Amino acid sequence: MSQDERVDPVQILARVGGVAYRAMDADRAFEVWVHLARSAGWEVGERSDDRRTGDPTDLGSVMVEGIKYRIRYSPRVRRLLADDSTGHLVYQDALGYAAWAEPEDAAR
């Protein structure tokens, strides 16, 4: 795959988890994002130990071919939820959790 054909790292979404935060989903989301980026043809160096404590949306950072990206995790993708609590099946839109990459400002 040529460099021009690769999807940009900021466009990669790891759809892991539901509509509620779970720490084990967040940990898996980092791994899935790295896997998806590598599958897209990028060389990725993991830095999961670079998490910012006290920020559940921060999964750590990665180096992607010389550029540092911070991996985030929060509600970001549309999900369709089924609700039958009233006795009738109704579908409603909701936001589900996903991980994505954000370029980190070199000045920080």
Rounded to whole angstroms, the Cα distance separating 3 from 6 reads 6
pLDDT, position 48 = 66
* Beta carbons of 37 and 71 less than 8 angstroms apart: no
pLDDT, averaged in runs of 10, over the chain (108 residues): 83 94 91 97 87 86 95 92 89 93 75
pLDDT, position 3 = 65
For 92, phi and psi rounded to 5 degrees?
-135, 150
